[in-house]
Amino acid sequence: MSLVQDTSPAQVDETVAAADRAAPGWAARSRAERAASLRAVADELDRAADDLVPIAIRETHLGEPRLRGELSRTTFQLRLLAEVLEEGAYLHARVDHADPAWPMGPRPDLRRTGIPYGPVVVFAASNFPFAFSVAGGDTASALAAGCPVIVKAHPGHPALSDATAEVVTAALPEGVFGLVHGDAAGVAVLTHPKVRAAAFTGSIRGGRALFDMAAARPEPIPFYGELGSVNPVFVTAAADAARGETVAEGLVGSFTLGAGQFCTKPGLVLAPRGSRLVAALAGGALPPAAPLLNDRITDAYLHGRQRLRDHPDVRVVAEGPDPLSPSVFATTVTALLADREVLQEECFGPTVLVAEYDEESQLLEVAGTVAGQLTASLVADEDDPLAGELTAVLATKAGRLLWNQWPTGVSVTHAQQHGGPYPATTAVGTTSVGTAAIDRFTRPVAYQGFPQTLLPAELREDPASSRVPRTVDGKQEQP
């Protein structure tokens, strides 16, 4: 039961109006100025850690080390995006000089850069109260791009949301950041004509409902939803034979990390029948039960776990004394393919399902038919005959492939990709983690025949202080 009042329709209107008023000024700030603002937000959040972390502990059941680490990740993201702004490659600037000899007819002077969309709404996630919430990756990348942000707070941590928002708001120009509480307020922002894009992290059901609303607007807007994924792991017979016990150890560490409440938790493992992996899982120790984020998630988890446990084709491999103890279940690939609805559905919490195959070729069959995924992992050897084909098939299904590594612990880097075919994301070509997340909030504009003085700085012949990597007449140029 939240102690925070839902935002009223009048307050929603005022929050959006303030964002709309702030949009031109925020977009017009130089990249250096916006970078300085992002760093100011990061510094203030670091400074407020001793105030914020205790609220987060109280509201999420997560421990202090995890939460302090997550806050560091959050401020790291803000600072990394400040570097991205300063470098400027994210603008994808292109300059084509006029060319009377261009084969399809005289070419005008055309110059293309990225401009921010305008106000955007971010729906905060429950499971990362810092890194995917008020000041998380979506907010950071939208602010960096030059978009004012309105966050719809997650009801799992309302007081933390307010406290974080206070810090962020104070560090930014008026109207550039706003916060609303309540589902109705979230929908009102999403469907407001002045709001130009949306980002979301959460469940398939909730995310799809919001995606549908964004698409049904008189003027549809991009909806960057990160909805769900079972993150399958494909273990070859050779790898199991060589190191099944080590694989079991790694798997337990990954699927129980954060009590299994990560978007990239490995929820489904393909292993040979009679594997050393399953034997090790059956005989090994599992971590103790831990409280989940909130009552709603606990209820949904226990329901999903029970549905798996009651399935006629599922047997228990290992489970602890408490319903919230980590659980390992097993089934067959045949059953997995026959009941996608139950056996291939994400179960958010500390449970993993092992599907046992008789023929290694069934790995390809499963890979070719699973839904879109954030990640897919191969536990295999380089000379496994299936490795090449499995990699190629899985690339069509997931945003990130892992080789003998575990998908939890998503690094914030330049090459990160957190997003894959639906339902992993609703916008398949985008990522919500890593520096490319900023691409979701800029759109290209071409300037034809413009005088130098009226061009954005990065498109001028002598860009002086704001040099960026550009493609000039089709050739990449460094500043």
The residues annotated with a catalytic role in the active site are 226, 263
**Span of 60-68, 147-155, 335-343, 382-390 interacting with a copy of itself by CB under 8 A:** 382-390
Site for a copy of itself in 199-218 (CB under 8 A): 211-212, 215-216
Given a contact cutoff of 8 angstroms between Cβ atoms, the answer to whether 366 and 346 are in contact is no
Q: Hey, how many other C-beta atoms are within 10 angstroms of the C-beta on 312?
A: 8
C-alpha span between 327 and 347 (Å, rounded):
11
Site for a copy of itself in 163-202 (CB under 8 A): 196
Q: Which helix (H) or strand (E) segment is 254 a member of?
A: helix 237-256
CA 53 to chain centre: 22
Strands 442-448 and 475-477: unpaired
Please identify, using beta-carbon distances, which residue of 61 and 94 lies nearer to a copy of itself. 94
C-alpha span between 339 and 48 (Å, rounded):
49
Site for a copy of itself in 221-250 (CB under 8 A): 221-222
Structure-token match 């921010």, residue found? 116
Reading the block at residue 365, the tokens are: 């069959």
Please identify, using beta-carbon distances, which residue of 118 and 350 lies nearer to a copy of itself. 118
* Residue 161 interacts with a copy of itself (CB under 8 A): yes or no: no
**Span of 38-46, 56-64, 337-345, 409-417 interacting with a copy of itself by CB under 8 A:** 409-417
Buried (b) or exposed (e) across 231-262, using 16+ Cβ within 10 A? bbbbbbbbbbeebbeebbebbbebbbbbbbbb
C-alpha span between 369 and 183 (Å, rounded):
35
Reading the block at residue 380, the tokens are: 């295999």
**Among 41, 412, 437, 438, contact with a copy of itself (rule: CB under 8 A):** 412
Given a contact cutoff of 8 angstroms between Cβ atoms, the answer to whether 234 and 247 are in contact is no
Number of residues written out for the chain = 479
Please identify, using beta-carbon distances, which residue of 298 and 450 lies nearer to a copy of itself. 450
**Among 231, 416, 458, 460, contact with a copy of itself (rule: CB under 8 A):** 416
* Residue 428 interacts with a copy of itself (CB under 8 A): yes or no: yes
For residue 276, what is the DSSP state? H
C-alpha span between 354 and 209 (Å, rounded):
31
Please identify, using beta-carbon distances, which residue of 183 and 439 lies nearer to a copy of itself. 439
**Span of 50-58, 170-178, 230-238, 389-397 interacting with a copy of itself by CB under 8 A:** 389-397
CB of 52 to a copy of itself, least distance (A): 18
Please identify, using beta-carbon distances, which residue of 359 and 473 lies nearer to a copy of itself. 473
Please identify, using beta-carbon distances, which residue of 87 and 249 lies nearer to a copy of itself. 87
CB of 262 to a copy of itself, least distance (A): 15
Reference 323, options 309, 343, 312; nearest CA is 309
Please identify, using beta-carbon distances, which residue of 282 and 446 lies nearer to a copy of itself. 446
Site for a copy of itself in 57-96 (CB under 8 A): 69, 72-73, 76, 83, 87, 89, 92, 94-96
Site for a copy of itself in 33-52 (CB under 8 A): none
Number of amino acids touching a copy of itself (CB under 8 A): 91
Count of CA atoms in the C-beta half-sphere (13 A) of 465? 4
CB of 422 to a copy of itself, least distance (A): 5
CB of 76 to a copy of itself, least distance (A): 5
Site for a copy of itself in 97-126 (CB under 8 A): 102-105, 107-108, 110-112, 115, 117-118
Q: Which helix (H) or strand (E) segment is 307 a member of?
A: helix 295-309
